[in-house]
Amino acid sequence: MDISRLWVTYAAAALLAVVSTNDTTLAAISPYVPDAWSRGNDADTSYFGWDTLEIAGPPDYGFLWLLDDASPDLGTGITATGTRLFQGTDGAGDPSPTTQGHISSSQNYYSFFDNSDDTVTATAPASGTGGYTTVVLQVFESAGGDGIPDLEFTMDNSIDTWTPTQHLHNVTGVGLAVHWAEWTAPGNDLTFSIHMTSLGPHRVIDSFQVDTYWTSGPAPVVNSITSVPEPGTWLLAWGGPIAVLARRRKFGRQK
């Protein structure tokens, strides 16, 4: 067979395989995982996140549904405890200062008229005492966004002294964006609270992913990542599914 035709055939087959990927597989794609430890859930490590936000039911708060989800759908055998993603001061308990809900009818994140004002909380596991805990939050944009460049993430230091190690952001070759925010703190079984804000409204997000790691060593473990994945990496993972994602994630008012 002619070599050029062979490559065309191979490329077409690969593209068909990617386009045919189902929604569950698309949701599980992660452009980057920690390089300082193995992602998973055990005595010292946890991985969890939200790709499909649960809608508990009425009331429809303002424009969309109120965000208060304590059941992550990413991660298996989650060892972190108290996992929760909510809007405002206390979700269903007190959504202020937001004036609309932050869950769209397609069960993803959408702050339509509001600026983002949301929090991720959990307690990271540890098998011993002392040492250091590292937490990474990754936030992935949905199709139809604008690169979510203005998202900011702050860690509540009211109980434990968390030190930010890096906040990375990149808009990919297919127009989707990712944020990587990382912190460390001395201690074990630490409860963390990450507050996400934006400078403007209309933030669209596909998923929130959290990794935690505890070490008994004399220094914190920090990932060596210096930039979020380059467009070429994203094209391999997302080039075909973008049309599927666009169909999967539609933003609209609750009916």
Please name the residues in contact with 114: beta carbons below 8 A apart, sequence gap of 6 or more.
98, 99, 100, 102, 201
Token pair of 64, please? Answer: 């969309």
Residue labelled with tokens 């507050």: 195
Secondary structure of residue 232 in the 3-state scheme: helix
Please name the residues in contact with 2: beta carbons below 8 A apart, sequence gap of 6 or more.
none
Contact 225, 36 (CB under 8 A): no
Q: Is 27 part of any domain?
A: yes
What integer pLDDT is reported at residue 225 of this predicted model?
Answer: 87
Residue labelled with tokens 């030190």: 163
Range of the domain at 31: 3-248
What integer pLDDT is reported at residue 222 of this predicted model?
Answer: 96
Q: Which residue, 145, 153, 147, 137, is CA-closest to 211?
A: 137
Q: Is 253 part of any domain?
A: no
Q: Is 254 part of any domain?
A: no
What integer pLDDT is reported at residue 64 of this predicted model?
Answer: 84
What integer pLDDT is reported at residue 42 of this predicted model?
Answer: 98
What does each of the 255 residues of the chain score in pLDDT, given as a tens digit? 444 443 333 333 333 233 222 222 223 334 588 999 999 999 999 999 999 998 766 666 767 889 999 999 999 999 999 999 999 999 989 999 988 899 987 888 998 888 999 999 999 999 999 999 999 999 999 877 788 889 999 999 888 899 999 999 987 656 678 999 999 999 999 999 999 999 999 899 999 999 999 999 999 999 998 887 644 444 444 343 433 343 344 333 333
Domain count along the chain: 1
Burial status of residue 202 (CB atoms within 10 A of its CB: 0-12, 13-18, 19 or more): middle
Q: Quick one: CA dihedral 191, 97, 56, 251, positive or negative?
A: negative
What integer pLDDT is reported at residue 113 of this predicted model?
Answer: 87
What integer pLDDT is reported at residue 146 of this predicted model?
Answer: 80
